[in-house]
Homo-oligomer: A and B are copies of this chain.
Amino acid sequence: MPAAIRVTVWNEFCHEKQNDAVKKLYPDGMHAVIAAFLNKAGLEATTATLDEPEHGLTEEVLDKTDVLIWWGHAAHGDVQDEIVSRVQQRVLEGMGLIVLHSGHFSKIFKRMLGTNCSLKWREIAEKERLWNLAPSHPITEGIGEYIELPNTEMYGERFDIPTPEELIFVSWFEGGEVFRSGCTWQRGNGRLFYFRPGHETYPIFYNDDVMTVIANACRWAAPRRRRKTAGAIKCPDPLEEVEPKDVDFGKAGIQQ
């Protein structure tokens, strides 16, 4: 039996402390609800939050993390750049990264993708339907033609991201917009999945379909083999014999 996939669920954990409606929905934080589901699903999930030392993302924690889930919204700016760089290196070495909802504006997501990750939004509790464009992808295992969420915050295009390597979900919104709601990219040896649902004022992380997708994504993003990628490698000797050359271009400076 293969070892369980180790997931660290990171949450800035602000709204749940400050807003009564959110507190009622997620009294122990969204991370707790997500981790509980993943543990039931056979993964080995723990949590980390902004206020912990090093935001709970020490080298030791990351050593034991196969997949990192990221939820942030109000406090993106409070995440230390050093920790962002550390997480980025881990992803490039092979750790999976799953970014949820408002995490689109997190430092780590923008760092990995290089774009502004901007979008349109509106909050009127409208209906969303996430159409499954990749019905044979591991991330959509157990999901039908679409996932329907009766009340959500809307995100609309143009979403400023690099073209996704795989477009898994596209959302339809009652108010008239569309959005690329499930997207994958590979960066270095790591795999990224952005998944749109998850606004703090709706019980999105109690929805079975949403949570099934997140659990599937953890299995998909778990590292196959880890490798460091930073640093140039000097090759002292060629593999093939190369004739000795007497080059002194400096004296000429022009092409012969």
Interface residues of A (CB under 8 A from B): 20-27, 88-89, 92, 94, 105, 111-116, 118-122, 124-127, 129, 131-133, 135-138, 141, 145, 151, 154, 156-158, 160, 162-163, 165-167, 170-178, 180, 185-189, 201-203, 206-208, 223-227, 229-240, 242, 245, 247-255
Contact = CB atoms under 8 A, between A and B. Distances in A.
Given A171-B178, A233-B120, A224 B138 contact: yes
Contact of A131 (B157, B187, B238): B157
A207 B255 contact: yes
A174 B242 contact: yes
When all copies of this chain in the complex are counted, the total is: 4
Given A116-B188, A170-B180, 5 more contacts: A121-B232, A133-B180, A162-B162, A165-B165, A170-B178
B251 A24 contact: yes
A25 B22 CA distance: 55
Given A172-B177, A232-B119, A238 B126 contact: yes
A39 to B, nearest CB: 18
16 contacts: A24-B252, A89-B116, A122-B236, A122-B237, A124-B242, A125-B247, A133-B158, A136-B189, A141-B225, A151-B245, A157-B170, A174-B238, A175-B238, A176-B240, A202-B247, A207-B255
Given A25-B249, A172-B178, A239-B177, A114 B111 contact: yes
Given A124-B238, A207-B255, A163 B165 contact: yes
A122 B232 contact: no
B250 A25 contact: yes
Given A22-B250, A227-B135, A249-B25, A176 B116 contact: no
A127 to B, nearest CB: 8
Contacts of A20: 250
Given A203-B249, A230-B116, A136 B178 contact: no
A89 to B, nearest CB: 8
Contact of A92 (B116, B122, B171, B235): B116
